[in-house]
Amino acid sequence: MKTPKILCLVTLAALLLMMAQGQWHFIPMRSLKGASTMPDFPRPYKETVMDGSWQGQMDKYAKYNFGFREPAIRLYNQYIWSCYHKTLNQGVILGRNNYLYERYFVEDHYESRMYKYTSDPQELLDKFDLEARRLAQLQELLRERGTTLFVAILPGKDYVYPEFLPPQDTMRRTPGPRAYPEYLRLFEQYGVNYVDVLDWFLGIKDTVTYDLMPPLGTHWSNIAATYAFDSIMRYMQHLGGPAIRGVQLGKPYIDKDREPDNDLGLLLNLTVPPRQKSCQYVDVSLAPETDTAHLKPGLIVLGDSFFWNIHYNFPLDSLFRYTHYWFYFNTIYFDTEHDNTSQVDLRQALIDADYVMLSYCSGQLYDLGNNFIGKALVELCYSDEEIQAVRDSLCNNIRRDEHWRQYVQNKAASEGISLDQAILNDANYLINTRPEEYFEKLRIGRCPADNN
Amino acid sequence: GAGWNFVLWGAYHGFFLVLERILTHSSVSKADSSPNLGEQPRIQPASAHTSPKLRELVRRTGGVCLTFVVVMVGWALFRIENLADCWTFIARLFSFNFIASPDTGFSSQFIVTLIVALAFAFVTLFPFGKKLQQWTFHTDYTSRQHLGVWIVACLLLFFCIGALTATDFSPFIYFRF
């Protein structure tokens, strides 16, 4: 057989192999790092085929489901990185001295984070004010029930290392308000319990010998998180909550075998990821137990991904009765009974806990609570029957309003859920995000039950 | 999906193809008509003293530039579905406004891509390019050459697939990994 014919057959075989790999993944591949939304297979409908949208969806599906996708993406990313020192990942920004930042930190620094939510600065300021007032109210309600609520403001890389940020791009916008300074002011004004870890980081930045936040990572470094949480636990007890067993911190050491904090470096998805120097660590051990009858407190942590470094370093099972991690008030970790916050009896969970920590870095403060605060107020101030009555009324309103119903119907079709479920989702969303509109007594800022 | 811009592009392309055929046929017809034997040669105008090579160079350069512009404008018709946007785009092509886009700028990647594109677009105008084209497409390869070209083609294919996919892939950190 002539060489061209052989090569043609080999090419066809390679293409078939690629399709098979995309379907069955029988050759193990190093997976790509980071989260992304995997598209579903688009069903062809006459309307979507004729207007061209099905073709676009199919193109997207094919891009995510062909074989050997991982090395192909890494190869091209490596070419772009090596030749032009750029990244195609829109969420990662390359700063000076090879410091990497997540996009929202850069946006926060240049005061353009506002535009993710609104173009009206006053609207954002009003949102901050409303959340802070709700938080103060929730704090008081929980205090009366024996639960201590506080906010831990964690460091953002744009505040800690602004000197390595890239210059502002040419598309400048009118600066908007920044969440961190606004919430500091509001927390003071409304008496919200908070611990400002960011301020502490800025104070020690020039004196410490370790990276507070690694060049190729987005979170606080392992060692910095360890020192910080030790201080946070002291603050918790200062608030008057149940005692927490003491810990002892060892001497810092470098561990070359441990994977460094380089999640942003990995997110570049290169064939040869950028190297990061080894990090320093501190071992945590329990202090001698002085009170063996002491009941360990229960802790709920609600917030962003910064808590993971605490989870990895501290013997939390020995310090707390339980530590339930409500990740962005969505997925739940370290709770054997619940996977998602929608499954939780929120009222009971908050009353049972001894501490509730809202843990957010400066860049994530714009979404403080992730709609937890409004929902918690409703649950604590109203009975299940009263809440259900409001929910039923809202659902009926949606069904009766032609435009609203059509909007929800379109949403149900795009999400692949029933109309009833979509109506219920909409009603719940309104209750959680605008409780004052539907629960009159929340407007006067006081729960009716506390009047007794 | 279907779109009127594709119809327009077809008509535009067809128009210039027809025009090119007409003009080429006319010039071929003129070249074929030679003076009868015995006729006195006419007095030649001054331009006739221009070197034939120079005339040919000017003709070819003009033809290449004109064809390039016509084809590039045609691609705009093909690519942009909204006709209003298409006209705006074409107007910008001829605006001679060299202020760089804030999104792409005149980055090193842009310049390299431009150089490669220019090279592929015009290399066959030159003897070296013609030889390369001849060798690539009109020469019988040995088995070794087949294998070498095949390997290069496969690598480039894989690279292109990576390029098509990587530009739309922007994962984010949901939790620490």
From chain A, the residues in CB contact with B1 under 8 A are 49-53, 55
pLDDT at A451: 37
Interfacial residues of B (vs A; Cβ cutoff 8 Å): 1-2, 102, 105, 107-109, 112, 141, 143, 146-147, 150, 154, 158-159, 161-177
What tokens were used for A379?
A: 């649950």
Q: How confident is the model at residue B112 (pLDDT cuts 50, 70, 90)?
A: very high
pLDDT of B115 above 50: yes
* A93 closest CA partner among A110, A79, A116: A110
Tell me the nearest-neighbour CA distance from B118 into chain A, angstroms: 19
pLDDT at B37: 47
For residue A38, the number of C-alpha atoms closer than 13 Å in the C-beta half-sphere is 8
Give the model confidence (pLDDT) of B16-52 as tens digits: 999 989 987 766 555 555 444 444 445 555 555 568 8
Element at B126 (helix H, strand E)? none
Beta strands at A298-303 and A253-254: parallel, antiparallel or unpaired: unpaired
CA distance A359 to A220: 13
Q: Is A419 or B176 the better-scoring residue by pLDDT?
A: A419
Tell me the nearest-neighbour CA distance from B122 into chain A, angstroms: 25
Cβ contacts of residue A89 below 8 Å, gap of 6+?
A: A34, A267, A268, A269, B169, B170, B171
Q: Is B81 or A73 the better-scoring residue by pLDDT?
A: A73
Q: Which residue's structure tokens are 């309104």?
A: A430
pLDDT at B104: 58
The burial class, CB within 10 Å (0-12 / 13-18 / 19+), for B174 is middle
Question: For the whole model, what pTM was predicted?
Answer: 0.82
pLDDT at A444: 62
**Residue B123 backbone dihedrals phi, psi, to 5 degrees:** -65, -30
Q: How confident is the model at residue B15 (pLDDT cuts 50, 70, 90)?
A: very high
pLDDT at B164: 87
CA distance B154 to B77: 32
Nearest residue, CB atoms, A88 vs list B150, B167, B177? B167
User: How many Cβ atoms from other residues are within 10 Å of residue A124's Cβ?
Assistant: 22
Beta strands at A298-303 and A355-361: parallel, antiparallel or unpaired: parallel
Contact at CB, A305 and B174, closer than 8 angstroms: yes
ipTM of the complex: 0.73
Cα–Cα distances in Å, from A41 out to A32, A57, A58, A70? 20, 8, 7, 19
Secondary-structure percent of chain B, ordered helix, strand, coil, rounded to 5: 70, 0, 30
pLDDT at A41: 87
Q: What are the start-end ranges of the H helices in A118-191?
A: 121-144, 157-160, 179-190
Q: What is the block-wise mean pLDDT of chain A (452 residues), using blocks of 10 residues? A: 85 92 89 84 84 84 88 94 91 93 93 90 95 95 96 97 86 84 97 97 95 94 96 94 91 86 91 88 88 82 95 93 96 94 95 97 96 94 93 94 91 87 92 89 61 36
Contact at CB, B175 and A91, closer than 8 angstroms: no
Produce one character per residue of A80-91: b if its CB has 16 or more CB atoms within 10 Å, e if not: bbeeeeebbbeb
Beta strands at A253-254 and A247-249: parallel, antiparallel or unpaired: unpaired
pLDDT at A293: 62
From chain B, the residues in CB contact with A55 under 8 A are 1
Give the best residue of A1, A2, A3 to mutate against chain B (max B CB count within 10 A).
A3
From chain A, the residues in CB contact with B170 under 8 A are 36, 88-91
pLDDT at B4: 82
The burial class, CB within 10 Å (0-12 / 13-18 / 19+), for B103 is exposed
Contact at CB, A88 and B1, closer than 8 angstroms: no
Contact between B9 and B80 (Cβ < 8 Å): no
Give the best residue of A50, A75, A258 to mutate against chain B (max B CB count within 10 A).
A75
Q: How confident is the model at residue B2 (pLDDT cuts 50, 70, 90)?
A: low
From chain B, the residues in CB contact with A72 under 8 A are 158-159, 161-162, 165-166
